[in-house]
Amino acid sequence: MNGLLDALAAALQTRQWTLCTAESCTGGLIAATCTELSGSSVWFDRGFVTYSNAAKTQMLGVPASLITQHGSVSEAVAKAMAEGAVRQSGCQVSVAVTGIAGPTGGSPEKPVGTVWIAWHVHDQTETAHHVFSGDRQQVRNSTVLHAVQGLLDRLSKPQQEA
């Protein structure tokens, strides 16, 4: 993970951009992972841990109606979390995660391990859906890895100037 974080730090610093996180199922693990790197205050601004639906609405501006319509573990909510984090922080980049880490909480439609990740990079939001296997900690660790790798992948794409 250290090499991944070094590359992420370099990509953000080259653009003079800052990152914020909006986390539900990982409970702040992405932010904690980012801040393991010395000097991360240059490129990491803040993390929102919005575990409850009320927190998603209050802290990130996710409409309660969106949560009611799609469920808190959904593409629409992940996207709204990522966009809300940027809006509330002023950062150029965010990553948001919402999912079911287990061992309880799953359903046939959304089994344990279901995770939605959204990345907002300079006015564009992309999402991905995963169903990770393993116990609670494995699901959370897989989510962190995919969130950070996905962020780096998106930062590595050539950016069009606005």
Domains defined along the chain, listed by start: 2-156 (3.90.950.20)
What pLDDT was estimated at residue 161? 47
Task: Please compute the mean of the pLDDT values over residues 17-24 and round it to a whole number.
Answer: 98
| pLDDT category of residue 162 using cuts at 50, 70 and 90 | very low
Assess contact for 19 and 45: CB atoms under 8 A.
yes
Q: List, for residues 100-148, the tens digit of each pLDDT value.
A: 999 999 999 999 999 999 999 989 999 999 999 999 999 999 999 999 9
Asked if residue 160 has pLDDT above 70, the reply is: no
Sequence-distant (≥ 6) Cβ neighbours of residue 80 within 8 angstroms: 56, 60, 61, 62, 63, 66
Q: List, for residues 46-82, the tens digit of each pLDDT value.
A: 999 999 999 999 999 999 999 999 999 999 999 999 9
The distance from CA 122 to its chain's CA centroid, rounded to whole angstroms, is 15
Asked if residue 159 has pLDDT above 60, the reply is: no
What pLDDT was estimated at residue 71? 97
pTM for the structure as a whole: 0.95
Name 21's bridge partners: 47, 95
